[in-house]
């Protein structure tokens, strides 16, 4: 099973920025390490990738996670803003990967993303409440999907 875990930062890990680096709580760092054991962790954040890589280092990830490169102007078509601006870029990135199942964890996933994920049996969306961020229940949800226990 080639599993991917796409992980947003703001609204999910809710880090604080101090001395030019992002920091998350030890509890949240433990959840991210759990996610990294479920599959290949990939940053899906609009933060500069250098900040995401530093964050991964601070969290204690065994491997340096890739980061999806998003353009500064997220809307693929500025004249028709999408409910989920990252969707276009995530789909494009996933189209170049070899994987069996993928989980995308982001606090901003709209109806367009939900519709796409319904059509793509290999993709499952996990959408934390940005005020709470990532919880153990979200990790359990990701684990169940990647283990094939839920469609």
Could you say which of 107, 124, 125, 138 contacts Mg ion (CB under 5 A)? 107
Q: Which of 8, 124, 138, 139 binds Mg ion (CB under 5 A)?
A: 8
> What are the helix and strand counts (H, E) for the chain?
5, 7
Sign of the C-alpha dihedral computed for residues 99, 75, 56 and 126 taken in this order? negative
Q: Which of 5, 7, 11, 59 lies at the binding interface for Mg ion (CB under 5 A)? A: 11
Burial class (CB in 10 A: 0-12, 13-18, 19+), 109: buried
Q: Which of the residues 47 through 86 are near Mg ion (CB under 5 A)?
A: none
Interface segment toward Mg ion; rule CB under 5 A; list 2-10, 53-61, 73-81, 121-129: 2-10
Ramachandran area for residue 70 (φ above 0: left; ψ -120 to 50: alpha; else beta): beta
Should residue 10 be labelled a site residue for Mg ion when binding is judged by CB under 5 A? yes
Number of residues that bind Mg ion (CB under 5 A): 4
Which residues here bind Mg ion, judged by CB under 5 A? 8, 10-11, 107
């Amino acid at each position: 099973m080639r599993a991917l875990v796409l992980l947003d930062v703001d609204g999910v890990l809710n880090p604080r920025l101090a001395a030019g680096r992002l920091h998350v709580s030890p509890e949240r760092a433990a959840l991210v390490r759990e996610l990294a054991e479920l599959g290949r962790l990939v940053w899906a954040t609009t933060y500069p990738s250098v900040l995401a890589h530093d964050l991964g280092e601070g969290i204690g990830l065994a491997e340096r996670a890739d980061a999806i490169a998003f353009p500064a102007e997220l809307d693929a078509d500025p004249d028709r803003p999408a409910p989920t601006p990252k969707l276009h870029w995530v789909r494009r990135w996933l189209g170049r990967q070899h994987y069996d199942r993928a989980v995308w964890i982001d606090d901003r996933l709209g109806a367009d993303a939900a519709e796409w994920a319904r059509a793509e049996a290999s993709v499952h969306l996990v959408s934390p409440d940005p005020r709470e961020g990532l919880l153990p229940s979200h990790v359990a949800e990701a684990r169940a999907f990647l283990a094939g226990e839920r469609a």
